[in-house]
Structure 1
Amino acid sequence: MNLADILAEAIRNGGSVDIDAVPQPDLAEAYAIQSAILGRLSIDPKGYKLSLRSDGVLSAPLLSVTEAASFPYQPGLKLEVEIALVLGRDLPVRAEPYARQEIRDTIAAVHIGIELVRSRYAGGPQGRTALLVADLMSNAGYRLGPALDADVLDEGRADDLRIIAGDQPLFDAPGAHPDSDPLAALVAYANEAGRATRTLRQGMVVTTGSLCGGLTLPSPATVSISLGRTTWRMDIVE
């Protein structure tokens, strides 16, 4: 089996694979594998995750985007609280660079975003960037929570964030974006001449980093998330 088949099967059945026993792609091959996985799973992505690095932006499609307040538990599942950006219009590739304010003006809505992540590699991607990208950057699904005020997009913003799973506290600290700017990765990606042309379309959800890192969910539970004055609950179910 090729890597797209291996990963698609692991996504379907909740399984894991030995990272050293699979083909080792380069980055260009990893993006082709992403597309192949979507085809095998018959998924037309409704959103993308972006990760700003020193040499560019890594991207991956979200396997699902929904407002449903539940998600099935899987061993190794982690939760990340993020800021979800809903695009109000297309951002096509163009010669003239997009400025931050122009990008901000295209955001039609901002929500609490809950990314569920699970590496399909036993032991995780182990710093192997191409394998991380091929595995959709560990995305397992995405949930849209309540709408937030647009000022959460301000640079350097850090609202109080509290996350409790059942009766177990998982996080209680200011929720700071890893780039200090939730739009930085989107601005950089929008200005990449070689990016895929259909990734930034009207209505799509874009997420650019966790406010709390990845929090392991040891078992099914109701998760309570409070960001600033906004609270939401979702069920991680059997």
Structure 2
Amino acid sequence: MSEQLSVIAERLVAEHRDGVKFHKLDGISSLSDAYRVQDAYVAATVGDDTRAGYKIGLTSKRMQQMCGIDQPICGTIFSNRVFKSGARLSMTDYGRLGLEFEICVRMGRDLDPRDEPFTPEQVGGAIDAVAAAIELVDDRQADYSMLDINTLVADNSWNAGVVIGEFTPPPARLNTLEGIAYQDGAELARGYGADALGHPFVPLAWLANHLAANGRQLRKNDIVMTGSIVTTRFPTGPFTYRFDVAGLGSVEVSGS
């Protein structure tokens, strides 16, 4: 990594510490550079923690339209930011907390390197469980009309944690499962597994190939958030959100 990219990663660490609003960072000229900055930022932030897995973002047309981006992105999930259903959050811990409603998968074995790209069927065969889940994102008061994908990726794709329901054996057809999001008991929106690029295994294969291109791999017990199937919600006061996925169960989070 160039010295300039290392300096940008250090700046990101400082801006999170000091509560600086999200803004475009100069000096990141490509997605490749953005992921290099992300790696340095994660390394500087993780401390004594470990990597629990990955988030994949912008896997539905509605989320891509919301952010003005036409491809998936990914980031690291830290182990100490993995919460069980029923977690209570403090909004003051985030620049601006957003909630995304997703299907989470858990790897049942390592995906060993191979010469050919992974297919959705191959990565799907390597998972051992799935769960309803809510990703916590922190967009740090971003202005979406001026969103810069390179800075977003460098900023760990905004992952701030996950809340996960009970894992269950994967059903035969994840793409047909319906998810319903509720706020304080009232239905907000619905989505389907197919909203994640047609099938949750499609973004999972994208992630596996992205990691392989950078000398890494998905490993047993990694959890992967496969992308929001309901548009992000930003609570502005005390809240309780629940996400029900037919055949998988529910996950709930509250806070103030």
**TM-score, normalised via structure 1 length:** 0.82
Kept in 1, the 8 Å contact 2:180–2:245? The answer is yes
Question: Once the 2 structures are TM-superposed, how far is the Cα of residue 190 of structure 1 from its aligned partner?
Answer: 2.2
- Which secondary structure state, in structure 1, belongs to the residue aligned with residue 231 of structure 2? coil
**Structure 1 segment 5-24 matched on structure 2, within 5 A:** 5-12=10-17, 15-17=19-21, 19-20=23-24, 22-24=25-27
Separation of aligned partners in 2, 1:78 and 1:60: 16
> Which residue number in structure 1 is paired with residue 28 of structure 2?
25
Question: Once the 2 structures are TM-superposed, how far is the Cα of residue 24 of structure 1 from its aligned partner?
Answer: 3.8
Question: Once the 2 structures are TM-superposed, how far is the Cα of residue 72 of structure 1 from its aligned partner?
Answer: 2.7
> Which residue number in structure 2 is paired with residue 154 of structure 1?
174
- Which secondary structure state, in structure 1, belongs to the residue aligned with residue 230 of structure 2? coil
What runs of 5+ residues in structure 2 fail to find an aligned partner? 1-5
31-40 vs 121-130, which moves further: 121-130
Q: Does 1:126 align with 2:146?
A: yes
- Which secondary structure state, in structure 2, belongs to the residue aligned with residue 96 of structure 1? coil
Separation of aligned partners in 2, 1:113 and 1:197: 28
Q: Does 1:96 align with 2:116?
A: yes
> Which residue number in structure 2 is paired with residue 60 of structure 1?
75
Kept in 2, the 8 Å contact 1:7–1:120? The answer is no
Match of 1:225 among 222, 243, 250: 243
Question: Once the 2 structures are TM-superposed, how far is the Cα of residue 79 of structure 1 from its aligned partner?
Answer: 0.4
- Relative to structure 1, the CA distance from residue 50 to residue 152 in structure 2 (aligned partners, 3 Å threshold; closer, same or farther) is farther
- Identity of paired residues, percent? 25
Question: Which structure features the higher share of helix residues?
Answer: 2
What runs of 5+ residues in structure 1 fail to find an aligned partner? none
- Which deviations, in whole Å up to 9, do the C-alpha atoms of 1:30-85 show, x marking residues without a partner? 11211221222214321112245998753211243232623331352110111111
- Relative to structure 1, the CA distance from residue 117 to residue 93 in structure 2 (aligned partners, 3 Å threshold; closer, same or farther) is same
Question: Once the 2 structures are TM-superposed, how far is the Cα of residue 4 of structure 1 from its aligned partner?
Answer: 1.5
The RMSD of aligned alpha carbons is 2.9
Question: Once the 2 structures are TM-superposed, how far is the Cα of residue 99 of structure 1 from its aligned partner?
Answer: 3.4
Kept in 1, the 8 Å contact 2:98–2:234? The answer is yes
- Relative to structure 1, the CA distance from residue 18 to residue 236 in structure 2 (aligned partners, 3 Å threshold; closer, same or farther) is closer
> Which residue number in structure 2 is paired with residue 208 of structure 1?
226
- Relative to structure 1, the CA distance from residue 40 to residue 184 in structure 2 (aligned partners, 3 Å threshold; closer, same or farther) is same
> Which residue number in structure 2 is paired with residue 47 of structure 1?
53
Separation of aligned partners in 1, 2:140 and 2:165: 26
